[in-house]
A and B are shown apart, each in its own frame.
Chain A
């Protein structure tokens, strides 16, 4: 079996890469895939915190790379979802502790046993970024509807194509923290504006919602909370990753808008 390695990246920091990795991974596992979440942000790990698995870390990425343990032993199994595992980053070393060749080899190894490896990429475009993209077959670029984020995403797409040798067709974007009320008032970039500039496929559109902050602090990916409307947006994105044809509901209207339209009160 050979799975797929997908890097979650953005260039700009603070746009939601780690949250996206956690939720896409959990959503893929809910769909029956076996998934390893790999935290490539060495020295500043926090995927384990977002997943609520921090207190179960025994071995980390560096221990695997330097041969102390094999990767299976370092994996932490998520008890909430079948088939979901985390390989945490080291907190004590920095990004130069790993070489691109070592990273590539590790990802190849994991891919032989799992359906998906989701790589949480550090911010920036330096060594840590190069390590994170080297073994990836696909990339998801997280972008928020801000000019600076879109600019960085554009730069990253160019680099993924050139340095990571990831073909354009395998690069998609996830628009995070969109506020449809502001888009309608033309105060925020629309998905189509971002699409026009980046010219890559849209994997998902995630509305801005404070429940993400609550769930992040609790260490429970929001996608595990079935009733939340964000959970649906993440599940849809994961479904599209698996090749399912899922229409974009959240893209053009909010739930309230849909109800109003239904009664002819809005357009």
Chain B
């Protein structure tokens, strides 16, 4: 019976993990068990996660998915909703904050959609975008930007001048990144990033590091704040 809650298929670009109807939490547990049975089988592969149309994605689940896949050395390239690729947009009310420091006290926009060429999305707070940003599309935020998908367009964080803002994406392939007044363009010979990366302002402009590295240095990385801020 548990088998119809979870399916793992191979594809040309990696593996497809499909959660069927039912509780996402249970499905993740199943996935974790399955991956533990064959710990080395999927090492280094890319995964696309397909979730049922009606299911609710929240921060806890996202973090859990990331942890489970990381433990098996699988990198997540995309989360797809079953059925239509149609636009689902969820803007959450501002997350209640525990520590009202100036930087943290921002609205959080939690948006689930794919941005196509020519589309623009601008928010006056932090932005968590679940979906891809295609080339030719633009996203901007007063605060941080976290793209749970492939970022290929233009992203501008810290739009009103916050140099501490960060841009993070599962696959960071942006045409151009802007943080406050800094601009960086993609290198001409860019390789396809395999791991999630974070962009921030360093001493010589914008630097890009892997999520893992930043996570080790910063005990409370911004995405934790973003993701957890929501359930408090």
Contact = CB atoms under 8 A, between A and B. Distances in A.
Interface of A: 151-152, 154-155, 157-159, 161, 167-169, 192, 196-197, 199-200
Contacts of B119: 158
A199 B117 contact: no
A155 B117 contact: yes
B13 to A, nearest CB: 7
A167 B116 contact: no
Contacts of B117: 151-152, 154-155, 158
B84 A155 contact: no
A169 B83 CA distance: 8
Given A155-B118, A196-B13, A168 B136 contact: no
Given A196-B13, A197-B134, A155 B116 contact: yes
Interface residues of B, number: 15
A157 B87 CA distance: 12
B114 interface: yes
B219 to A, nearest CB: 36
Contact of B13 (A159, A161, A192, A199): A192
Nearest to B118: A155
Contacts of A199: 85, 114
Contacts of A159: 118
Which of the listed residues A152, A154, A161 has the most CB atoms from chain B within 10 Å of its own CB? A154
Contacts of B13: 192, 196
B136 A151 contact: yes
29 contacts: A151-B117, A151-B136, A152-B117, A154-B116, A154-B117, A154-B134, A154-B135, A154-B136, A155-B116, A155-B117, A155-B118, A157-B116, A158-B116, A158-B117, A158-B118, A159-B118, A161-B87, A167-B84, A167-B86, A168-B84, A168-B85, A168-B86, A169-B83, A169-B84, A192-B13, A197-B134, A199-B85, A199-B114, A200-B85
B12 interface: yes
Contacts of A152: 117
Given A157-B116, A169-B84, A197-B134, 8 more contacts: A151-B135, A154-B136, A155-B117, A155-B136, A167-B86, A168-B84, A169-B86, A199-B114
